[in-house]
Every structure is written in structure tokens, then in C-alpha cells.
Amino acid sequence: MKTTGRLIEQARLEAGLSGAELARRAGTSRPTLAAYEHGTKSPTLDTAARLLAAAGFRFDVVPVPSFVDLTDERGRPFSVPNRLPRLPAGQALARVRLPVHLNWSDPDRVYDLSDRRQRHRVYEIVLREGLPADLLTYVDGALLVDAWPDLVLPAAVRRAWEQIVFA
């Protein structure tokens, strides 16, 4: 989990702002902002929200899925969340190289998640063999719902996930 200071710094950098500019926009001093970003001082929640807003961001409450581990007809384990995960657009449509535990037969392959067919292939792999961290890294719930009719999955995996996809 990122610290509040790291979130403020990330927002500032993604907005392309210098520390001085963010401090000016937020009505604070540059040394105070630096202390927040370096973790030597902790902002209140209101102050952190003001700093993020000055960089063009906001705090959001995002539900974190919990997972159940199941096994398919052949006794292979797979995980299913209690809710569909959502990813930022840049991550949901990124170019990715799957870790070896997911793509051992072609470990150097790069998948372009903005390409529908390649995204479907990644989803098939990750839903069948992914750990919870893999599901949270590579699978976007809205894109999964769209892809669902086209995915080729073992029957047990499909049945377990359908309860979430059609919830």
C-alpha cells in the first residue's frame, strides 16, 4: 500500500507539476509539501485531499475484492473474487508480459491488451491459472463482461466466474 506522501508525489508527477507549483496551487509551502512527500510529516485527510485536488486528482473509496480458492474438474486450483476488479484504463489496455507461472510456454511474449483477441487470451490464461494478485493486475471487470461469451474456459472455472460476471 502506498503512503499518503507517495500518493501525493505520484499525483504531482503524473500532473507534470513541480513541487513549488503544486505547493502554490494548494496554498502550502514547498518545504511542507516536501515533508509530506518524504514522509517526515503526515498531512490530515483534508490536507491530502486538497493537495491531490490541486494536482487534478481525488481520493476515492474503491472496493477491494476478496478471493475464494476452488479446484476444477482435474483438481487444478483457481481463484475467484467476490466482485469484479476494475483497472485504470492505462493498465487495462497496456502491453504486458505475463509472469512465467502464467505463461511458461512463451515467457517472452508481449500481449497488447488493447487488442481484443490478445486481451481475451490473457483473460483465459489468468482466469484459469492466475493468483489473486494476477487477477488484480491483468483483469478488468467491465472488459471481462464484454469478453465473456468468447472466452474458452474449463467448465468449473466458467461456472464459478459466471456468478460474479452476471451478478
Tally of domains within the chain: 2
- What are phi and psi for residue 77, nearest 5 degrees? -75, 150
- Kindly give the residue spans of alpha helices, DSSP state H, lying in the chain: 4-14, 19-26, 30-38, 45-54, 89-92, 116-129, 132-138, 141-147, 155-165
Give the integer Cα–Cα distance in Å for 146 and 122. Answer: 14
Domain assignment present for residue 101? The answer is: yes
Let me know whether 100 and 153 are in one domain. Answer: yes
Q: What is the pTM of this model?
A: 0.75
Q: Which residues contact 12 (CB under 8 A, 6 or more apart)?
A: 18, 19, 22, 37, 55
Mean pLDDT of the chain: 95
Let me know whether 35 and 113 are in one domain. Answer: no
Position 144: which residue type? L
pLDDT at position 129: 94
Rg (CA), the chain: 20
Let me know whether 111 and 38 are in one domain. Answer: no
CATH number of the domain enclosing 49: 1.10.260.40
What's the pLDDT band for 1 if we cut at 50, 70, 90? Answer: low
Arithmetic mean of pLDDT, 22-29 = 97
Let me know whether 71 and 43 are in one domain. Answer: no
Is the distance from CB of 34 to CB of 5 less than 8 angstroms?
A: no
Strand-pairing partners, residue 81, are: 67
Position 59: which residue type? F
> Quick one: DSSP state of residue 150?
G
Domain assignment present for residue 141? The answer is: yes
Let me know whether 99 and 146 are in one domain. Answer: yes
Tell me which residue range forms the domain holding 146: 67-165
Let me know whether 73 and 112 are in one domain. Answer: yes
CA distances 100 to 78, 93, 104, 160, Å, are 16, 20, 5, 25
pLDDT tens sequence across 103-156: 999 999 999 999 999 999 999 999 999 999 999 999 999 999 999 999 999 999
Arithmetic mean of pLDDT, 65-71 = 96
pLDDT above 70: percentage of residues in the chain: 99
Domain assignment present for residue 12? The answer is: yes
Q: Is 78 helix (H, G, I), strand (E, B) or coil?
A: strand
